[in-house]
Structure 1
Amino acid sequence: MPTIFVINLERSPERLANSQRQLAAHGLSFECIDAIDGATLTPAQREINYSPSLNKQKYHYPLSAGQIGCYLSHRKAWQTIVDRQLDYAIVLEDDFILKNDLTHTIKNIEQAPIGWQMIKLSAYQNRSRSIAFQVPLQHKQHLVIHKKLMTGCCATAISFGGAKQLLAATEKFGRPVDCDLQHIWETKVAGYSLMPYPFAQNCEQVSDIKARSAASVKKSFFARKNQQLTSAINNHFATAAFIKKTKRTFHTPKSKKGAAAPFYS
């Protein structure tokens, strides 16, 4: 069975108990990653990894303490994968809903016909997005490449190679973690989605590890639109390259399967 991490704030034991109940009902154990509470960090501690200058350059409002803590908590999970040299782990936030048994999902993750670094196992607020390419798997599941990687980090499979690369790419960050993961041309970690998703996000229970400040300072309209246009262009070419690489790997009989392969070869 895979290692499953649940990111949870110490002050939210009821969320951890709910996570335990859901996973135990399917015979699954997990390890808790103690979330980093951004509100308890000093400005100097927050800025060890969070860069206000990168934030001004790349995002349209300053990140809240909760968003910074959320990012640092995911980095903590990635670091644990690397430190323990795990082939991969499933990283969950504590607002997940386990929709069905994970037996087929785990088998498809571990026996995927192509290498992977990151696989989304849920969508942000259960939204949908246009699909650009998909690879059929067993039991009516598919590895999907969306036209733009789905936002949200409620449930994600991260490989050793993916975790190592993400840590290197996000040593300094200025966006929310799920937004940075969409910028695959920067992180060099491309992501699939496994659909139908085995997890959903509990939209009635907003994760308290990533609370956004209501007092967000907005960028000017033109600066934000320019930022979005640049991102859209970069995403178009990066996604096309990812699809091309996936097709090439999928049709190479002796290519490495299941384990993570680098995005750019």
Structure 2
Amino acid sequence: MRQVFVINLDKDTARLAACVAMLDSAGIEWQRIPAVNGRSLPPEVLNNVYDTDANFRRAKHPLVLPEIGCYLSHLRAWEAIVESELPIGVVLEDDFSVTGDLAAVIDALAHDHKNWDVTKLFSFKPDVRLMRRRKLSNATQIGIPYRVPSTTLGYAITRDAAMRLLECSTPFFRPIDEDHKFFWEKDLRVALVQPPPLKVGLQESADGTVGDVRKLNVQNVRVNGILRPLRGLRYSLGYQLRLHCARMMGLGI
């Protein structure tokens, strides 16, 4: 049965073609999730799903429209996982590239989903500190990263966790990958596979990347003096403190 869900914008046909080639060659059944284009969302929808007040108080930076669309796209993937009635689903953003035996990792996770809610399949940092490290498959291990990686390039999620997150994730005020880092807020156990079976692949997008849009947004919005760096410092220090407290209390393990 299909348990892999690929998020893809209608305009990004080159990315979709790359996904087709990689997943089909690996013998992985999958389903495309039409991504939400944040630029096309009407104001009333934006007001319902994005909490600007909480963003100012608790987030690192204002969300740009592609980030809002990205979060809503992951919600669509979670809905598909819940509807599938499978114990887990795997969500892939369409700019991934396969580096390991992805099919074997997915099969192993499907038989090992009692001790985690979300398992990341990629991390930008290769030397992530893992707690409770153990064997997952012949070539991989799984463990709880002390600090959850900031990426949603690819991850597995249990059906129960997807159902729970659907009930409490809107309105949101952070990017979805940042939300995963604050695992204690939604009582999530986030694991990581090492070595990761994925890496970043094709980056060209018909609408530009989130990073491109964020840089343009910063250039176009006048920020008063040191307000922006102070906001980033407040966010970073607050996160570090809460992370250490959560781990000391045994949360997310």
Q: TM-score band (shorter)?
A: 0.7 to 0.9
1:47 shift after superposition: 2.1
The alpha-carbon distance between structure 1 residues 207 and 195, as it changes in their structure 2 partners (threshold 3 A), is: farther
Unaligned 5+ runs, structure 1: 247-265
**C-alpha separation in 1, matches of 2:68 and 2:187:** 22
Q: Which moved more, 1:159-168 or 1:91-100?
A: 159-168
Matched, 1:230 2:230: no
Q: Secondary structure at the match of 2:162?
A: helix
Q: 1:242 to 1:4 in 2, by over 3 A?
A: farther
Give distance in 1, aligned partners of 2:206 and 2:148: 21
Distance (Å, rounded) in 1 between the aligned partners of 2:134 and 2:149: 17
In the alignment, which residue of structure 1 is the partner of 2:5? 5
Deviation for aligned residue 1:113: 7.6
Q: Which residue in the other structure is 1:73 paired with?
A: 73
Q: CA deviation at 1:48?
A: 1.6
Q: Which amino acid aligns with 1:238?
A: A
Provide the secondary structure at the position in 2 that maps to 1:32: strand
Q: What does residue 147 of structure 2 align with?
A: 148
1:130 is aligned, of 128, 131, 146, to: 128
Partner Cα distance (1:92, 1:208) in 2: 19
Structure 2: stretches of 5+ with no match in the other structure: none
Aligned partner of residue 47 in structure 1, secondary structure: helix
Which residue of structure 2 aligns with residue 251 of structure 1? none
Residue 17 of structure 1: how far off its partner (Å): 1.2
Q: CA deviation at 1:235?
A: 1.1
Separation of aligned partners in 1, 2:117 and 2:195? 19
Q: Is the 8 A contact 2:117 2:158 kept in 1?
A: yes
How far 1:30 sits from its partner (Å)? 1.1
- 1:240–1:202 distance in 2 versus 1, CA, 3 Å: farther
SS in 2 for 1:193: strand
Deviates more, 1:216-225 or 1:95-104: 216-225
Q: Report the alpha carbon displacement of residue 207 of structure 1 after superposing the two structures with TM.
A: 9.1
Indicate how the Cα distance of structure 1 residues 33 and 200 shifts in structure 2: closer, same or farther if over 3 A, else same: same
**1:73-121 CA distances to partner (integer Å, 9 max, x unpaired)?**
0011112212333211110000000113334312321232842210001
1:86 alignment partner, SS class: coil
Cα offsets for 1:164-220 (capped at 9, x unmatched): 222223111111110011101112112100111111112644695862332235644
| 2:217 aligned partner, one-letter code | A
Structure 2 residue 58 is the aligned partner of structure 1 residue 50: no
Q: Helix, strand or coil for the counterpart of 2:193? A: strand
Confirm or deny: 8 A CA contact 2:105 2:137 kept in the other structure.
no
RMSD of aligned Cα (Å): 2.3
The structural deviation recorded for 1:227 is: 2.4
Secondary structure in structure 2 of the residue aligned to 1:200: strand
The 3-state SS of whatever aligns with 2:10 is coil
Same amino acid, percent of matched pairs: 27
Paired amino acid for 2:145: H
Task: Report the TM-score when normalising by structure 1.
Answer: 0.83
In structure 2, the partner of 1:257 is none
CA distance in 2, matches of 1:228, 1:206: 30
2:217 is the alignment partner of 1:215: yes
Runs of 4+ in 1 over 6 A off after TM superposition: none
SS at match of 1:139: coil
Displacement of 1:29: 2.1
Against the structure 1 CA distance between its residues 27 and 113, is the aligned structure 2 distance closer, same or farther, given a 3 Å change threshold? closer
Aligned-partner SS, 2:138: helix
**1:166 and 1:189 in contact (8 A); partners too:** no
Report the secondary structure of 1:215's partner residue.
Answer: helix
2:7 touches 2:92 (CA, 8 Å); kept in 1? yes
- Supply the distance in 1 between the matched residues of 2:145 and 2:192 (Cα, whole angstroms): 8
What TM-score, normalized by structure 2, do the two folds share?
A: 0.87
Deviates more, 1:216-225 or 1:90-99: 216-225
Whichever residue aligns with residue 235 of structure 2, its letter is Q
How big is the shift at 1:129?
Answer: 4.6
Question: What is the alpha-carbon distance in structure 2 between the residues aligned to residue 14 and residue 110 of structure 1?
Answer: 30
